[in-house]
Amino acid sequence: MKNKNDDLIVEKEEVKKISGLKNTLTLLKKAQIKKSTYCWIVLLYAISAVMAVFHAYLTACLTKSITQANFDNFVMIVLLFGVVSMLKMTFQNFQYIFNVKLENLIVKSINTKNYNQVLSLEISNFNDNSSEEFQNRIYAANQISSIIISVLTNIYEIIHNLAYTIIIFIYAPILSLIYAIYPICKIIYNKIMTPKFNALYNKNWKENGIKMTALSREAIIGVKDIKSLNMNNQIIKDYKAKQDAYYEQQNKINTYSIKTKFFMSAIVSLSDIVTFLAGYLLYKYANFSIVSFVLFLSYKGYIRQLFDQFSNLISCVSNVEANSYRGNELYNDKKFSKEKFGNKKLNNIKGDIEIKNLNFSYENKTKLFKNLSLKIEPNQITAIVGRSGEGKSTILSLINKFYSVDDNKIFLDGVDINQLEEKSIRSNIVYIQQSPYIFNMTFRENLLLVNPKATKKELIDACQKSEIYNFIMSTPNGLDTMIGENGIKLSGGQKQRLAIARALLNKAKIIMFDESTSSLDNESQLKIQKVIERLSSNHTIIVVAHRLSTIINANKIIYLKGHKVKDIGTHKELMGRCEDYKNIYKVEIVE
Q: Which residue has the higher pLDDT, 117 or 382?
A: 382
Distance of CA 408 to the CA centre of its chain: 35
Average pLDDT over residues 199-204: 61
Q: Where are the beta strands (DSSP E) in 158-231?
A: none
What DSSP string describes 506-570? TT-SEEEEESTTTTS-HHHHHHHHHHHHHHTTTSEEEEE-S-GGGSTT-SEEEEEETTEEEEEE-
Q: Across the chain, what does the average pLDDT equal?
A: 79
Q: pLDDT at position 224, please?
A: 67
- Domain limits of the chain? 10-169+312-339, 173-287, 353-590
Contact 194, 221 (CB under 8 A): no
Burial of residue 102, with CB atoms counted within 10 A of its CB: 0-12 exposed, 13-18 middle, 19 or more buried: buried
Q: Which residue has the higher pLDDT, 388 or 366?
A: 388
Q: pLDDT at position 384, please?
A: 92
DSSP 482: B
Q: Which residue has the higher pLDDT, 444 or 531?
A: 444
pLDDT in tens, 243-261: 888 888 788 778 877 887 8
Q: pLDDT at position 6, please?
A: 42
Average pLDDT over residues 308-321: 71
Task: Report CA-CA distances (Å) from 236 to 158, 214, 240.
Answer: 50, 13, 6
Lowest-confidence range among 37-46, 374-383, 388-397, 500-509? 37-46
Confidence band of 591 (pLDDT split at 50, 70, 90): low
Residue count (the chain)? 591
Measured CA to CA, the distance from residue 59 to residue 87 in angstroms comes to: 15
Cβ atoms < 10 Å from Cβ of 172: 27
Q: pLDDT at position 69, please?
A: 72
CATH of domain 353-590: 3.40.50.300
Average pLDDT over residues 195-217: 69
The kind and range of the H/E element at 443 are: helix 443-448
Confidence band of 198 (pLDDT split at 50, 70, 90): low
pLDDT in tens, 468-497: 899 999 998 999 999 877 788 888 888 888
Q: pLDDT at position 333, please?
A: 65
